[in-house]
Structure 1
Amino acid sequence: MPFIDEIDIYVASGNGGNGATSISKNKNKAIQDGGNGGHGGNIYIIADKRKTELTSLNFKKTYNATNGEDGASNGKNGKNGKNIIITVPIGTLIYDNEEKKLLGELIHDREKLLIVKGGIGGTGNKYLKKNTMQSTKSRKGIIKFIHLEMYLLADIGFIGKPNVGKSSLLNACTNKLSKVANYSFTTIKPTLGVLKVKCRKKIILADIPGILKNASKGKGLGFNFLKHIKKSKILFHIINIKKFSK
């Protein structure tokens, strides 16, 4: 399965429910008792430390929150629409595709961003001050085309040419089972590992595919994976010393 670190999705919040217009009679007195409409469901994006890529979103790219229910007589308010929560890896940037605008960046576990807010439900005539047989209109939900782009957040990033031992070093430090073999481009997608040390709880290590000369021109696996060590605090440049011992 290919490694996916960028993806476009469609999101639509729910419409608000209509407020009710209703009159009941009590001892020959007319009473306005139309309930409010429910609010439409919101859509949130939340960071999850257990996720390491956006591949799961490739199977579902359309998200529609449910509409709020209409109000009813006897002052009964409609139920709010159900919210939708989309989980992404820590380090995900969220863009509005049409406005080309950054909506936010999620850099902490369980950090949440409201992407589209549901439409407000209409007000039933029970809650209007004036005597009326009318209710206020509900509001429609919001539609957006969203671009998601993730970056690995690591303390240390491993860089170097293909087949110089980056994955072997990651495995030795973290007990990670990254694929190791005697041919170039064994690592075809970025990999994270956790190194536990006494002085602090953990150090996050990132291994990215090997970079060749002219990678910017498409040689090898290209240079798109470089963005995953962009925010690393330290870079370890791994080299093969066997070439220098000959």
Structure 2
Amino acid sequence: MKFVDEATIDIVAGNGGAGCASFRREKFIPFGGPDGGDGGRGGSVWAMADINLNTLIDYRYARRHEARNGEAGRGSDQFGAAADDIVLRMPVGTIVTDLETESVIAELIEPGVKVLLAKGGDGGFGNLHFKTSTNRAPRQKTPGWPGEGKKVKLELRVLADVGLLGMPNAGKSTLITAVSNARPKIADYPFTTLHPNLGVVRVAPEKSFVVADIPGLIEGASEGAGLGHLFLRHLQRTRLLLHVVDLAPFDPEVDPVKEAKAIVNELKKYDEALHDKPRWLVLNKLDMVPEDERAARVKDFVKRYKWKGPVFEISALTREGCQPLIHAIYDHVAAEQHKVVEPDIRFDGTETSS
């Protein structure tokens, strides 16, 4: 199935039904009084996150979603029926934005929770609504209120704990295959990965985390080169970034340090907050480096790259060094999840004497 992470749709809520102006007409009852009912409410448009969906492909082809109008009121004290609401099911992590105001309407994080996107119009009042002790034969009625209509943008940002970052052919897809249940396409040419892949990494029973692999970045990605810049949004919800570096490139003239610095620069140009996320250095393809040269090559890379953070030496192909990396990642993610937020003393429920 084609991966789609953006779509623009029109949503229209239903109009309320009109009220009815009617009078009771029955044999031997000359003054029956008003009996016109109110109109029914129009249907609303809701959005709900569904864990069974992982793409916005349905909304690429279904561009308009309309709820039905409410029924009009009738005589004999009959109120119009309210129209059914419609619920748009979207992947978890979808952000709904109003294109006119550019404001975020909803962010679908929790599965099964409905969020109102467009409210249906209320029904109009029939003349029964205007009956009083002094106005016994009202002829007033009101039309139904119109429902809301919006043009919205849907943007999917996958929910992952860890994101893989790196140049094409750095071994990101091989790494996610080695440590998780994901099975992305792997080949010996650039841009093998054309869309994000998610994998669940099982560390131990009831201990796991989600890792995301996006297409490789190249220099100039912030200006539109390559594919990676299109999917960087999927790393914005991660707690940790793994910068995967090919320590043994096919071309001997390629400098891994220069490529690594280019990736970081593109990340900074795209989003400062994404650049400031915790980032670990993962030096991959050590199986291609002779054992007696590995330590020297790693030391030279770290020195020239001027890296002060954590460094992991692995071979995704042979899975050498992957287990220590997995356990370190899980410890970091678990610590982030269990961070205690300091309570606001203004709302802690205690009273202070003035």
Scaled by the length of structure 2, the TM-score of the pair is 0.65
Larger mean CA deviation between 166-175 and 70-79 belongs to: 166-175
The equivalent of 1:69 in structure 2 is 71
Name the amino acid aligned to 1:31.
G
The equivalent of 1:38 in structure 2 is 40
The equivalent of 1:219 in structure 2 is 225
Seen in structure 2, the aligned counterparts of structure 1 residues 123 and 192 have a Cα distance that, compared at 3 Å, is same
Name the amino acid aligned to 1:8.
T
The equivalent of 1:51 in structure 2 is 53
Number of equivalent positions: 246
Name the amino acid aligned to 1:162.
P
Describe the SS at the equivalent of 1:14: coil
Matched, 1:24 2:24: yes
Q: Distance in 2 between matches of 1:74 and 1:239?
A: 77
1:167-206 → structure 2 map (5 Å cutoff): 167-198=173-204, 200-206=206-212
Query: Is the 1:152–1:228 Cα contact (8 Å) retained in structure 2?
Result: yes
Q: Identify, as 1 or 2, the structure richer in helix.
A: 2
Q: CA deviation at 1:163?
A: 1.6
Q: CA deviation at 1:33?
A: 1.5
1:10-159 → structure 2 map (5 Å cutoff): 10-25=10-25, 27-28=28-29, 29-130=31-132, 131=136, 132-159=138-165
Q: CA deviation at 1:237?
A: 1.7
Name the amino acid aligned to 2:15.
N
Higher relative contact order (CA 8 A, sep 6+): 1
Query: Is the 2:34–2:131 Cα contact (8 Å) retained in structure 1?
Result: no
- Seq. identity, %: 38
Q: Distance in 2 between matches of 1:99 and 1:217?
A: 26
Gaps of 5+ in 2: 250-285, 291-354
Query: Is the 2:23–2:35 Cα contact (8 Å) retained in structure 1?
Result: yes
Query: Is the 1:170–1:207 Cα contact (8 Å) retained in structure 2?
Result: yes
Q: CA deviation at 1:62?
A: 0.5
Larger mean CA deviation between 138-147 and 233-242 belongs to: 233-242
Q: CA deviation at 1:199?
A: 6.1
Q: CA deviation at 1:39?
A: 0.4
The superposition leaves residues 48-106 of structure 1 with CA deviations (integer Å, 9 ceiling, x where unpaired) of 12222212110101011100011111111111112111121111111111122221211
Q: CA deviation at 1:12?
A: 0.8
The RMSD of aligned alpha carbons is: 1.9
Name the amino acid aligned to 1:18.
A
Q: Identify, as 1 or 2, the structure richer in strand.
A: 1
The equivalent of 2:8 in structure 1 is 8
Query: Is the 2:48–2:90 Cα contact (8 Å) retained in structure 1?
Result: yes
Describe the SS at the equivalent of 1:170: helix
Gaps of 5+ in 1: none
Describe the SS at the equivalent of 2:33: strand
Q: Distance in 2 between matches of 1:151 and 1:172?
A: 24
Q: Distance in 2 between matches of 1:207 and 1:21?
A: 63
Scaled by the length of structure 1, the TM-score of the pair is 0.92
